[in-house]
Amino acid sequence: MKLLVISDIHGSLYYARKIEEIYKKENPDKLILLGDLYYHGPRNPLPEEYNPSGVCQILNSLKENIIAIKGNCDAEVDEMISEFELQNSVEMNIDGKRFLFTHGHKNNIDNLPEEEIDVLVYGHFHTGFIKERNGVICVNAGSITFPKDNTKNSYLIIEKNNIILKDIEGNIIDSKEFI
């Protein structure tokens, strides 16, 4: 199974179209969205082509294959316009490893979850990385729209026991094998 993981779109139609391109190129089985889909949020500037309903149209067109997590900028009304469910977090067994997908404002590398997991995957901080803490692989997908601290606009691929952090051109930034 191939997973494409994207976080923190924050209402940018420009980057939602990039997601469509990446989706076609990578051809994943599932697209996991880690939250902060539509609203730009009071801590961010307006993104390129701010158009929450346009972003929603693109995401709804991919709804069959979307697994979506709710971010701290995602409101009740966002759940109404989305034709897919927004969940608080999702646990998944991938190749025998326990993955927890979450937005990151509650659980992150500095606040590991109480559940026993092998890999924690989140966004929220807009800084893509792959690290390890207390035996847990901690992966931040970064933000497709608003990268911070000199990181790149990024996304993740999880496939064949590998977690790969890529920039939007598909160049590998970092990767980690999990066995």
Contact with Mn ion (CB under 5 A): which of 28, 47, 52, 71? 71
Is 36 an interacting residue with respect to Mn ion (CB under 5 A)? Answer: yes
Contact with Mn ion (CB under 5 A): which of 18, 40, 70, 124? 124
Point out which span in 31-39, 55-63, 75-83, 163-171 binds Mn ion (CB under 5 A): 31-39
**CA distance readout (Å), 28 to 19, 74, 132, 143, 165:** 12, 24, 25, 19, 15
Residue 72-91 contact track with Mn ion, rule CB under 5 A, x = bound: x-------------------
Nearest CA to 154 among 18, 1, 24, 29?
A: 18
Comparison of 40 and 162: residue with beta carbon closer to Mn ion: 40
**Where are the extended beta strands (E) located within the chain?**
3-6, 30-33, 66-69, 86-87, 89-94, 97-102, 119-122, 129-133, 136-140, 154-159, 162-167, 172-177
Residue with tokens 């790149």: 152
Comparison of 44 and 176: residue with beta carbon closer to Mn ion: 44
Shortest Cβ distance from residue 131 to Mn ion (Å)?
Answer: 19
Binding site for Mn ion (CB under 5 A): 36, 71-72, 124
